[in-house]
Chain A
Amino acid sequence: MLHTHNNILERETKREKHNISINDHNDILIEVLQRLDGRSLAAAACVCKKWCSIVRNDALWEHLCFRQLSVPPSVGVRSVVLALGGYRRLYLMCVRPVVSRLKKRRSNGGHTEVVRRLWNRNEVELSLSLFCVEYYERLLLGDGGAVGGGESAAKSLRFLCKTVNV
């Protein structure tokens, strides 16, 4: 995989020395984006249409949700999350506010771990539960219509910070 890329690069550098565009190499772009945090990802989505469509790919957000877990989640999680609205929504609605709230509480409590710490399994599980409740609430209220559509969270999540949507 890398070889082909190198070849392409070489060829292109020979042709147009100053015209290397990351936009031509999706997988590199994705590799880079995978290492960003949520906020930067959202910013990246504002760069151009191509980046926007790549960032909206749910796989990136799945990676973001779980990459800090010490133990990767079980197999069934993906189908459940996708059914309930996808990883981007999970991250925006639940994981991010949950983790940031808990991080704030912890640093307020006197522990000086400002360092990035691993999200633990419990936090992710709690996020998943809240996500499911939120889906159900939209079912109750929305009555069939735009179940997966709406960008705003159902009321049961209002107690978390209101998020800014991409």
Chain B
Amino acid sequence: MKRDYPNQNHTLFPGSSSSTPPLLPDLTGKSKMWDEFNEQDTGVDELLAVLGYKVKSSDMVDVAQKIEHLEGVLSNDDGLSQMASDSIHQNPSDLSSWLESMICELNPVVQVQLPGSGSIAGSLVGTSTSPGSAGIDDLQAIPGDAIYPPTKKQKSLSEDNGNKTYSPNPIVIIDSQENGIRLVHTLMACAEAVQQDDMKRAETLVKQAGYLAVSQAGAMRKVATYFAEALARRIYRLYPKSPQDAPAFRDLLQMHFYETCPYLKFAHFTANQAILEAFAGKKKVHVIDFSMKQGMQWPALMQALALRPGGPPTFRLTGIGPPSGDNTDHLQEVGWKLAQLADTIHVEFQYRGFLAESLSDLEPAMLELREDEVVAVNSVFEMHELLARPGAVEKVLSAVKEMKPEILTVVEQEANHNGPVFLERFTESLHYYSTLFDSLESSGGGGGGSVESGGVAAASNQDKIMSEVYLGKQICNVVACEGPDRVERHETLAQWKTRFDSAGFQPVHLGSNAYKQASMLLALFAGGDGYRVEENDGCLMLGWHTRSLITTSAWKLR
């Protein structure tokens, strides 16, 4: 005789209407004490009273948390259902104490103090009895702050509690099941443990996170797996060696990322538009590219220059990149291909490649700048790496100033992954990459959804996977590395603005042409509804729904 949990159980579980109802009905259905109806209802919650539960309205929060806690405990122990059907519990209509007795029975040794509205900080730490065993005992030892953070109580809050749920940047959770929330909490708790240098606790938590991640689907699973792996690396000190991969492999990953989602295309098109406008009317132009890679940005610019009114200028390109390590001069090869293209569309083209370990090794004198040419400097996702070594950014910016550019175009990730506190960096990057993976997921790997042959679908799947690996490496770097190895030191536009300002640059507004082109480009992508172009004080930001992810900005000398 099973009671159906009504759909209007919103007072207990406000957000999780689509989740499976808690285990409660199953357990209580087997108990014979069920039929007791207690008619005394002084200040008792009405909906629950209909079911036969007597819960004071003031106790609702308490009860909700206990239920959640109980569920968490139960779902982790397989042999429990046996025990549940055999035991006799106290009066189940008195929900609060009944839950209490259930919990105590499961863990006779550990006395769980559940929080009212305050945090329990360290009260649970150190109450685990058997240090060696994983599982429930270790779960009990999870400090309250991570699992029940005082300000971040989410779905288990009852509405008559009156607390506002506080979520500054809502974590993207694909399915609203309890496991997803638990997974995020576990990751955060693990990061907190790492922050506090409690490696034993962190180790348990990271394993827990690994299990939970597997139970998820889609973007959540991938993000969680990458973060769990990165945390594990940090805990076990298996730092990825630096430099990690050959530049050729990194370029390959970035190519796949280029094809799957619009971020790089957006970056290229908007930067090109700014450069095009800066080059208007000039006869000799010179672009210095800090992020040469495969040179995917330049065909579009060359084509626009070829077709501009008045004809194309002489176009000189200097590409800067890291040495490839396998004796092939891939920079030069890229130059040849670009030269071929330039020849085809009748643009006078000159190319020079420079190998440099780091941008700060660059001296303007090497570039052989000429008097009569107009210079543009371009950097896509390169500047943040300079922040790993003190003084590098300032050196590069002063070198740029010496080049006397007409315009400096910079594209960077819009996030602060360079804070001094590890936990903050972790939280920020968790939000950021969750959003990014989310957008990858709905891009569908660039298939478009319409006419698609099997071959194309398979290829786009591979693209998607490689893009995820590309992002995964960034995640690993942000979380697991420190010091000069940690190169993914993303900063927000506001932070870059201050830097450029103090270095002697002033912003150049990107204009409506760039905005229009960017919007059109995004509309072409499947899942294009999710992408948003925003103008922010002359800079263009591309984001997914409400979260801005990358920013293009342009600068000139004051």
Contact assessment for B524 and A159 in the assembled complex, using a CB-CB cutoff below 8 Å = yes
Contact assessment for A155 and B299 in the assembled complex, using a CB-CB cutoff below 8 Å = no
Let me know if B169 is at the binding interface, CB within 8 A.
no
**In the assembled complex, how far is the CB of residue A38 from the closest CB belonging to chain B, in whole angstroms?**
14
* Known contacts A98-B524, A155-B459; is-contact A163 B451 (Cβ 8 Å): yes
Docked CA distance A101–B526 (Å):
9
Contact assessment for A84 and B345 in the assembled complex, using a CB-CB cutoff below 8 Å = yes
Contact assessment for A159 and B345 in the assembled complex, using a CB-CB cutoff below 8 Å = no
| Residues of A with C-beta under 8 A to B262 | 159
Let me know if B448 is at the binding interface, CB within 8 A.
yes
Let me know if A132 is at the binding interface, CB within 8 A.
yes
Contact assessment for B346 and A79 in the assembled complex, using a CB-CB cutoff below 8 Å = yes
Contact assessment for A140 and B258 in the assembled complex, using a CB-CB cutoff below 8 Å = no
| Residues of B with C-beta under 8 A to A126 | 517, 520-521
Partner-contacting stretch, out of B76-84, B336-344, B362-370: B336-344
| Residues of A with C-beta under 8 A to B456 | 158, 162
Docked CA distance A84–B262 (Å):
23
* Known contacts A136-B337, A156-B259; is-contact A129 B269 (Cβ 8 Å): yes
Let me know if B296 is at the binding interface, CB within 8 A.
yes
Contact assessment for B452 and A128 in the assembled complex, using a CB-CB cutoff below 8 Å = no
| Residues of A with C-beta under 8 A to B463 | 155, 158
* Known contacts A98-B524, A129-B304; is-contact A162 B345 (Cβ 8 Å): no
Q: Which of B328-382 contact A (CB under 8 A)?
A: 334, 337-338, 340-341, 344-346
Docked CA distance A136–B334 (Å):
10
| Residues of B with C-beta under 8 A to A7 | none
| Residues of A with C-beta under 8 A to B304 | 125, 129
Chain A residue at minimal CB-CB distance from B340: A139
- Which of B337, B451, B459 is the one whose CB lies under 8 Å from A139? B337
Docked CA distance A119–B525 (Å):
19
Per-residue CB proximity of A153-166 to B under 8 Å, as 1/0? 00110111111100
Docked CA distance A105–B114 (Å):
51
| Residues of A with C-beta under 8 A to B440 | none
Q: Which of A21-58 contact B (CB under 8 A)?
A: none
* Known contacts A129-B303, A158-B446; is-contact A136 B296 (Cβ 8 Å): yes
Let me know if A4 is at the binding interface, CB within 8 A.
no
- Which of A102, A133, A139, A163 is the one whose CB lies under 8 Å from B524? A102
Partner-contacting stretch, out of B12-20, B50-58, B181-189, B305-313: B305-313
Interface size on B, residues (CB 8 A): 46
Docked CA distance A101–B527 (Å):
12
How many of chain A's residues touch chain B, expressed as a range? 35 or more
Docked CA distance A123–B447 (Å):
21
Contact assessment for B337 and A140 in the assembled complex, using a CB-CB cutoff below 8 Å = yes
- Which of A76, A97, A133, A139 is the one whose CB lies under 8 Å from B300? A133
Contact assessment for B259 and A80 in the assembled complex, using a CB-CB cutoff below 8 Å = no
Let me know if B450 is at the binding interface, CB within 8 A.
yes
Let me know if B302 is at the binding interface, CB within 8 A.
yes
**In the assembled complex, how far is the CB of residue B310 from the closest CB belonging to chain A, in whole angstroms?**
10
Contact assessment for A132 and B299 in the assembled complex, using a CB-CB cutoff below 8 Å = yes
* Known contacts A129-B269, A158-B446; is-contact A136 B524 (Cβ 8 Å): no
Contact assessment for A135 and B341 in the assembled complex, using a CB-CB cutoff below 8 Å = yes
Docked CA distance A133–B521 (Å):
14
| Residues of A with C-beta under 8 A to B309 | 74
* Known contacts A139-B341, A140-B337; is-contact A129 B300 (Cβ 8 Å): yes
Contact assessment for B311 and A76 in the assembled complex, using a CB-CB cutoff below 8 Å = yes
Docked CA distance A135–B520 (Å):
21
**In the assembled complex, how far is the CB of residue B453 from the closest CB belonging to chain A, in whole angstroms?**
6
Let me know if B24 is at the binding interface, CB within 8 A.
no
Chain B residue at minimal CB-CB distance from A123: B520
Let me know if B523 is at the binding interface, CB within 8 A.
yes
Let me know if B294 is at the binding interface, CB within 8 A.
yes
Contact assessment for A162 and B451 in the assembled complex, using a CB-CB cutoff below 8 Å = yes
Chain B residue at minimal CB-CB distance from A128: B303
**In the assembled complex, how far is the CB of residue B265 from the closest CB belonging to chain A, in whole angstroms?**
8
**In the assembled complex, how far is the CB of residue B542 from the closest CB belonging to chain A, in whole angstroms?**
15
Chain B residue at minimal CB-CB distance from A94: B524
Let me know if B460 is at the binding interface, CB within 8 A.
yes
Docked CA distance A122–B340 (Å):
26
**In the assembled complex, how far is the CB of residue A141 from the closest CB belonging to chain B, in whole angstroms?**
10
Docked CA distance A163–B451 (Å):
7
Contact assessment for A102 and B523 in the assembled complex, using a CB-CB cutoff below 8 Å = yes
* Known contacts A126-B521, A129-B303, A132-B299; is-contact A162 B453 (Cβ 8 Å): yes
Let me know if B516 is at the binding interface, CB within 8 A.
yes
Docked CA distance A6–B344 (Å):
44
Let me know if A77 is at the binding interface, CB within 8 A.
yes
* Known contacts A84-B344, A135-B299; is-contact A161 B448 (Cβ 8 Å): yes
| Residues of A with C-beta under 8 A to B526 | 159
Let me know if A83 is at the binding interface, CB within 8 A.
yes
**In the assembled complex, how far is the CB of residue B341 from the closest CB belonging to chain A, in whole angstroms?**
5
Contact assessment for A77 and B451 in the assembled complex, using a CB-CB cutoff below 8 Å = no
Docked CA distance A84–B111 (Å):
75
Let me know if B322 is at the binding interface, CB within 8 A.
no
Docked CA distance A74–B446 (Å):
32
Let me know if B528 is at the binding interface, CB within 8 A.
yes
**In the assembled complex, how far is the CB of residue A117 from the closest CB belonging to chain B, in whole angstroms?**
15
Contact assessment for B520 and A158 in the assembled complex, using a CB-CB cutoff below 8 Å = no
Docked CA distance A162–B309 (Å):
33
| Residues of A with C-beta under 8 A to B517 | 122, 125-126
Docked CA distance A149–B47 (Å):
72
**In the assembled complex, how far is the CB of residue B95 from the closest CB belonging to chain A, in whole angstroms?**
49
Docked CA distance A105–B517 (Å):
15
Contact assessment for A74 and B259 in the assembled complex, using a CB-CB cutoff below 8 Å = no
* Known contacts A136-B337, A140-B337, A159-B259; is-contact A101 B523 (Cβ 8 Å): yes
**In the assembled complex, how far is the CB of residue A17 from the closest CB belonging to chain B, in whole angstroms?**
46
Contact assessment for A158 and B460 in the assembled complex, using a CB-CB cutoff below 8 Å = yes
**In the assembled complex, how far is the CB of residue A99 from the closest CB belonging to chain B, in whole angstroms?**
10
Docked CA distance A101–B522 (Å):
11
Q: A158-B459, A162-B453 are in contact. List 7 more A-B contacts (CB 8 A).
A: A97-B524, A102-B523, A102-B524, A126-B517, A126-B520, A156-B258, A159-B526
Instruction: Identify 19 residue pairs between A and B in the complex whose beta-carbon atoms are under 8 Å apart, listed by A's number.
Output: A80-B345, A83-B344, A84-B345, A101-B523, A101-B524, A122-B517, A125-B517, A126-B517, A126-B520, A132-B303, A132-B345, A135-B341, A136-B295, A140-B294, A140-B334, A155-B259, A159-B525, A161-B448, A162-B452
Q: Can you list the 10 inter-chain pairs with the closest CB atoms, starting with the nearest?
A: A132-B303, A136-B299, A159-B446, A129-B300, A83-B344, A132-B299, A161-B450, A139-B337, A105-B523, A162-B451
